[in-house]
A and B are shown apart, each in its own frame.
Chain A
Amino acid sequence: MKAMIQKDLRENLKLALIGLLIFSLLLLQAYQTCISTLTNMLTGNSSGQIGALQPLLATGLLTGTAFFCAIFGTALGWLQTRNEAHRDLWAFLIHRPVTRTEIFWGKTIAGLCLYAFGAGLPLAVLVAVVRTPGYVAAPFEWAMVVPPALIFFTGIAYYFAGLLTGLRQARWYASRCFGLGLAIATSFGVVASTVFWIPTVLIAVAVLILAAAAWGAYQSGGFYRGQPVAGRLALTVALTAGCGVALFASVGLLVNLVLGPLTHHPYVWSYYQMTRDGTIYKETNRDGNTEYADLDGHPLLDPKTGQKMEPKEFSKRIAYGRGVLSTLKYRNRDQYQYSIQNASGFFSLWNITDKTLWYLDRHGKLLGYDGQTRKFIGSLDPHGNDGKLASEPFLQRADSNYYNAYGDVPQKIIATAKTVYQVDFKERTLKPVFTLTNDEIGGYDEEEASYEDNHAAKNFLITTRKTVCLMDYDGRPIFALPYKPGYFEYPQVEISFLQLTNSSMNNFAVWFLPDYLMNKAAGWKLPEHILWIAPAQTVTKSADLPVLRLDEESSWPDKLATALLPPPVHVEFDDKIYKSWNLLSYTLALVCSVIGWTLARRYNFSTTASIGWTLFIFLLGIAGLLTFMCVQEWPVREICTNCKKFRAVDRESCEHCEAPFSPPEKNGTEIFEPLAKV
């Protein structure tokens, strides 16, 4: 085994070195991108994902890593077997006094070492660099290593898929690489997951299955027949995923590229807008055309021209707004999210002042980094800036994944669950503005300042368990309302800043917006609730508007695409789209399983195997049938000389009449003599 490992290490070292070089350059380039994002943000004229400030969380870097690990893993695995796929070299390899399992492990250990060398080493260096003060002006914690690590481990699934592809003997050449399907599916699963354990389990399962399938392929030289049960099972699962992915991709392409354009389905989206006089209009986007109408459905006309209102003109009339999402509902849960696409699970960029970046990390600490030296300069909390005292965590603001250089003027306030503070970043001090005694802050946000008309922020919106309140920076309420309906069903509160005119006497309008999922569960019965507030803090008017939803009517290609999905999907997701054509789905599954059953009977599968495969195909539909056909080797059939029926050539005797195969026909030139021992 040691010799095997050494040989494979030496044989594929070149590839690993090339991989190492490419990946190092790729990471270096992604790192440089992160640094230039930082530089641009510091100069105040660039917006960007805050994840870009910490390379370990940067989307670009992670995407690059994901692609590299997938390609490198596949290439390594594939070449490691491809090198020896020449049948004589394969024979040279296999014909030695060791088991094939040992050969498999020898190769695999060498391959994984090389993978770790090519893909793992640059990542490890990156982590070391990121941790070193003076390189990255963003918080670091070990949990941030998890996303790149998960991507790295996903590459191992690709490695085994590559091994499998290199070895697999199949009638359909394309189906040799179907093992990659499971790895690709895993990649998507990893990217989409929001909790740590799901991708871990996904990767572990995928690696286990693909490793078992590759091991099985080593046992049989790439055939399904002659493998141990575990290998056959793993191969079947892996190919099922492959067929699923292939089917999914081809149906997706068909629908989007061919059927989609043929059956154009207009894209309609509408929502409410409020103008500064407090009137609500319905804005409708239809294939890029925007229309405005009042709530009675009359189109809105431009008073100057008498024509339909243009978006440019309308946007001048829209009221400034600000929204606050109450996080009370989730406060006691761990909000910690590992989603690779979401850096805000770790920290948000609170502010940039004087070349200093202030982050609010997920533990509620305000951390300062010098943008030029890229070093940590200290943390800020209610008890001073030494950061040593345990203090109450600061609350996150909503949607803090993106830094907007033009919209987000320096924040002045920050809040814990009980107290709102005004921050002086220059002096690095906090001044309490407002403290709650018998209540808890749900969310808060400041009025939007605008450079355009020199409008400075004067107040902030705050929601607690009981109230919704607009306050100035001295802690004086401008108005306060009971939080009704409550934050549980209506977590989102928005405020529109209105202008007092002769016809409109209202200062503000407050929107209570229902939670999407809860509203969906309630059958879309929760309306949007709006209150208009006059300067005297009195509610002058209220309205309930039905929520506007996306038109969920799907076109027939979409329905067809869902109908190709196997029955369990239709049972699991009882959305309208899945329901519409699910009879077709069941029919297709049934037809496929009948075909499967016929095939199984024709090729003399045992009754158990026939039933098993038929059931399998019924559950997985077309993908199941494809898998069945890919995974098995189908023997030729020829006519039995005895009973004249077709019989499979891989049986010792005819399945119909039990007659053995006839010996070769004699032609009178045979020379046979018993051979004695010499």
Chain B
Amino acid sequence: MNNESVIQTRNLTKYFGGKAAVYELNLDVPRGCVFAFLGRNGSGKTTTIRMLMGMVPPTRGTGTILGHDIRALTPEVRARIGYLTEEHQLYGWMNVKQCGEFQSKFFAKWNGRIFRGVAGHFGLKPEARVKDLSRGERAGLCLALTLAPEPELLMLDDPGLGLDPVARRGLVESMIFLTRKSDRTIFFSSHHLSDVERTADYIAVFDRSILRACCPLEKFQESVQQVRLRFPGTPPALPKIPGLLQAVRTENELRVTCVHYNGEAETALRALSPVEMESVPLGLEDAFISYLGERGEKTFILSEMEAQS
């Protein structure tokens, strides 16, 4: 029972109009991990989460969450999932205490200490009206509401969005704290790679509605590598290299970033007979940017640029 995937999708697809927002997604999220869901804006992260939460009907494909069909989530399953939406929307007329009271009436398991603790962590006063709260405070309140029922699966859609560094640190601390319960799974999407680096076991990377990567965090970081080649003069034209992400040519240097830097790629690069050649590991952020940034070759050789113009 403990070994099943908490989230599993098969060919999950969603079209909006004629465009696929999520295309043929196959995902398995093991229980007990912290799973980061990455990708650029509009690449399908939120749509995927909304489909998983039964908010949007998939165009085709199937999915289960905690072993239940996402098209028909029962109240019992929902009680076990904490869902934090992207924009931290709440009823503006309620105050912090009323929010807690409202939410608590629906959940059989409601831990008021957690609610007060998290709310306190974000400096929320019980009488403060939701509409007067700052974005970060609202996020804190939403987090408190999400955590208080002690869900076994947390679905956090960009929880750090719009938060200042202090509030974001509070969020990351909360997430670390939550892993105390070993079979609790946290599934979150984010643009803050430093937070991801601190928290995630696994990451999945979405590239324009398609899942491109799904692996342990370090595996991703290790897979994206940069090779620097130095030449006495202008670097030669780049041969075809498997897994190429980016290549930058300057006066006498060629920087090649690629995935799975292996024998084949190395041989191809050595054939260019550079003076010097070293492979440099990249930080997560650089790796991510190279991975999702513009593909292909860029030139920074002034003479060539001038010649072209």
Instruction: Determine how close the nearest CB of chain A comes to the CB of B189; give it in whole angstroms.
Output: 14
Of A3, A635, A678, the contact of B15 (CB 8 Å cutoff): A635
| Contact bitstring A83-106, B, C-beta under 8 A = 1, else 0 | 000111111101111110000000
- Choice from B32, B33, B90, B245 contacting A669 with Cβ under 8 Å: B245
- Could you tell me the distance between the alpha carbons of A586 and B106 in the complex, rounded to whole angstroms? 55
What residues of B have a CB within 8 angstroms of the CB of A99 in the complex?
A: 74-75
| Contact residue among A96, A673, A676 (Cβ-Cβ distance under 8 Å from B30) | A676
Looking at A88, A98, A220, the one whose CB has the most chain B CB atoms below 10 A away is A88
A677 touching B32, Cβ below 8 Å:
yes
Interface size class of A (residues with CB under 8 A): 35 or more
| Nearest chain B CB to A649 CB, angstrom units | 5
User: Which of chain A's residues has its CB closest to B85's CB?
Assistant: A88
A536 at the interface (CB under 8 A from B): no
Q: Tell me the bound Cα distance from A664 to B202 in angstroms.
A: 21
Determine the residue in chain A with the shortest Cβ distance to B224.
A671
Determine if A220 and B107 form an interchain contact, defined as CB atoms under 8 angstroms apart.
no
In the complex, the answer to whether A652 meets B61 with C-beta atoms within 8 Å is yes
Q: Is the CB of B83 within 8 A of A664?
A: no
A56-89: CB near B (< 8 Å → 1, else 0) gives 0000000000000000000000000000001111
The reply to whether A675 and B30 contact each other, CB–CB distance below 8 Å, is yes
The segment from A221-229, A336-344, A458-466, A508-516 found at the interface with B is A221-229
Say if the beta carbon of B214 comes within 8 Å of chain A. yes
| Closest-CB distance, A469 to chain B (whole angstroms) | 76
How far in angstroms is the closest Cβ of chain A from B36? Answer: 12
Q: Determine the chain A residues whose CB is within 8 A of the CB of B201 once the complex forms.
A: 678
One of B51-59, B119-127, B166-174, B268-276 at the interface: B51-59
Please, what's the 1-or-0 string for B68-85, where 1 marks a CB less than 8 Å from any CB in chain A? 000100111011010101
**Given A88-B85, A88-B87; A671-B212 close (CB under 8 Å):** yes
A658 within 8 A of B: no
Task: Return B251 CB to nearest CB of chain A, in Å.
Answer: 28
Q: Which of A11, A223, A651, A669 has the largest count of B CB atoms less than 10 A from its CB?
A: A669
Q: Is the C-beta of B135 less than 8 angstroms from some C-beta in chain A?
A: no
Q: A91-B53, A678-B32 are in contact. Are A636 and B88 (CB under 8 A)?
A: no
Set of chain A residues within 8 Å of B89, measured between Cβ atoms: 86, 88-89, 92
A546 in the interface (beta carbon within 8 A):
no
Asked whether A7 is an interface residue with its Cβ less than 8 Å from the other chain, the reply is yes
Task: Tell me, yes or no, whether B286 is within 8 Å of chain A by CB.
Answer: no
A2–B105 alpha-carbon span in the complex (Å) = 9
**B209-224 vs A: 1/0 string, CB under 8 Å?**
0111111100110010
Asked if B108 CB lies within 8 Å of chain A CBs, one says yes
B300 within 8 A of A: no
CB contact between B259 and one of A87, A88, A671 (< 8 Å): that residue: A671
Give A373-400 as 1s and 0s: 1 = Cβ < 8 Å from B's Cβ atoms.
0000000000000000000000000000
* A 601-624 binary contact with B (CB < 8 Å = 1; else 0): 000000000000000000000000
- Residues A401-421 near B (CB distance < 8 A): none
A677→B259 contact, CB < 8 A: no
Contact with B along A650-678 (1 / 0, CB 8 A): 11100000001101100011111101111
Known: A99-B75, A226-B57. A675 touches B202 (CB 8 A): yes
Say whether A10 faces chain B, with CB atoms less than 8 Å apart. yes
A675 touching B78, Cβ below 8 Å: no
Residue numbers in A under 8 Å from B3 (CB-CB): 677
Decide if A97 touches B106 in the complex (CB within 8 Å): yes
Give complex CA distance A88, B90 in Å. Answer: 8
Contacts of A676 in B (CB 8 A): 30
The answer for the CA separation of A669 and B288 in the assembled complex, in Å, is 12
Does A91 contact B83, Cβ atoms closer than 8 Å? yes
Which of chain A's residues has its CB closest to B25's CB?
A: A664
CB of B259 within 8 A of CB of A669, answer yes
Q: Within the complex, which residue of A11, A660, A663, A678 is in contact with B33, where a contact is CB–CB below 8 Å?
A: A678
Fill in one digit per residue for B24-62: 1 if any A CB lies within 8 Å of its CB, else 0. Answer: 100011111100000000000000001001111101110
CB neighbours of A87 from chain B (8 A): 50, 55, 85
**A221, B51: Cα distance in complex, Å:** 12
Output the least CB separation between B242 and chain A (Å): 5
CA distance A7 to B17 in the complex (A): 35
Please measure, in the bound complex, the distance between the C-alpha atom of A182 and the C-alpha atom of B211, giving whole angstroms: 46
- Inter-subunit contact B81/A3 (CB<8 Å): no
Q: Whose C-beta in chain B lies nearest to the C-beta of A83? A: B91
Instruction: State which of A95, A220, A650, A672 has its C-beta within 8 Å of the C-beta of B81.
Output: A95
Complex: how many Å from CA A96 to CA B211? 29
Q: What CA separation (Å) do A153 and B284 show in the bound complex?
A: 64
Q: Contacts A221-B55, A226-B57, A671-B223 hold; do A677 and B31 have CB atoms under 8 A apart?
A: yes
A675 to B201 alpha-carbon distance, docked (Å): 9
CB contacts (< 8 Å) of A2 on chain B: these are 105
A301-345, CB < 8 A from B: none
Q: Does B13 contact A (CB under 8 A)?
A: yes
* Cβ–Cβ < 8 Å partners of A7 in chain B: 91, 102
A671 and B220 contacting across the interface, CB-CB below 8 Å:
yes
Q: A3 and B106: CB pair below 8 A?
A: yes
Nearest to B83 among chain A residues (CB) is: A95
Given known contacts A89-B90, A668-B242, A677-B32, A95 and B223 CB-to-CB distance under 8 angstroms: no
Measured in the bound complex, the distance between the Cα atoms of B223 and A223 in whole Å is: 43
Known: A92-B85, A668-B242. A10 touches B215 (CB 8 A): no
* Assembled-state Cα–Cα distance A399/B72 (Å): 63
Closest residue of chain A to B290 (Cβ to Cβ) is: A669
Q: A636's closest neighbor in chain B, by CB?
A: B18
Q: Are B210 and A664 in contact (CB under 8 A)?
A: yes
Contact B259 A668 (CB under 8 A): yes
A10 and B70 CA atoms in complex are apart in Å by: 32
Given A10-B93, A95-B53, A649 and B212 contact (CB-CB distance below 8 Å): no
Residues of A within 8 A of B17 (CB): 636
Whole-angstrom distance from the CB of A95 to the nearest CB of chain B?
5
Q: Kindly state the separation between the CA atoms of A412 and B93 in the bound complex, as whole angstroms.
A: 68
- A-side contacts of B93, CB under 8 Å: 10-11
Q: Is the CB of B59 within 8 A of A635?
A: yes
Q: A652 touches which one: B20, B60, B107 (CB < 8 A)?
A: B60
Instruction: For chain B, residues 186 to 234, give those with C-beta under 8 angstroms from any C-beta of chain A.
Output: 201-202, 205, 210-216, 219-220, 223
B82–chain A nearest beta-carbon distance, Å: 9
Report chain A residues within 8 Å CB of B50.
87, 91
Report how far A56 CA is from B213 CA in the complex, Å: 72
One digit per residue, 1 when the CB lies within 8 angstroms of any chain B CB and 0 when it does not, for chain A 165-203 equals 000000000000000000000000000000000000000
**How many whole Å from B49's CB to the nearest CB in chain A?**
9
- The contact string, 1 if C-beta is below 8 Å from chain A, for chain B 1-33, is 011000000010101011010011000111111
Segment 90-135 of A: residues with Cβ below 8 Å from B? 90-92, 94-99
Residue of B nearest to A665 (CB): B210
Interface hits, B104-159 → A, CB 8 Å: 105-108
B57 touches A220 (CB 8 A): yes
CA distance A94 to B93 in the complex (A): 19
- B214 and A675 form a contact (CB under 8 A): yes
Q: Which residues of B contact A670 (CB under 8 A)?
A: 212-213, 259
A675-B213 in contact (CB<8A): no
Judge whether B285 is part of the interface by a CB distance below 8 angstroms.
no
Cβ-defined contact, A97 with B107, below 8 A: yes
The 10 listed contacts between A and B (C-beta, < 8 Å) are A95-B81, A97-B76, A99-B74, A668-B242, A669-B245, A669-B291, A670-B212, A671-B205, A671-B219, A677-B31
B residues engaging A (CB < 8 A)?
2-3, 11, 13, 15, 17-18, 20, 23-24, 28-33, 50, 53-57, 59-61, 71, 74-76, 78-79, 81, 83, 85-91, 93, 102-103, 105-108, 201-202, 205, 210-216, 219-220, 223, 242-245, 259-260, 291
Q: A residues engaging B (CB < 8 A)?
A: 2-3, 7, 10-11, 86-92, 94-99, 220-221, 223, 225-226, 635-636, 638, 649-652, 660-661, 663-664, 668-673, 675-678
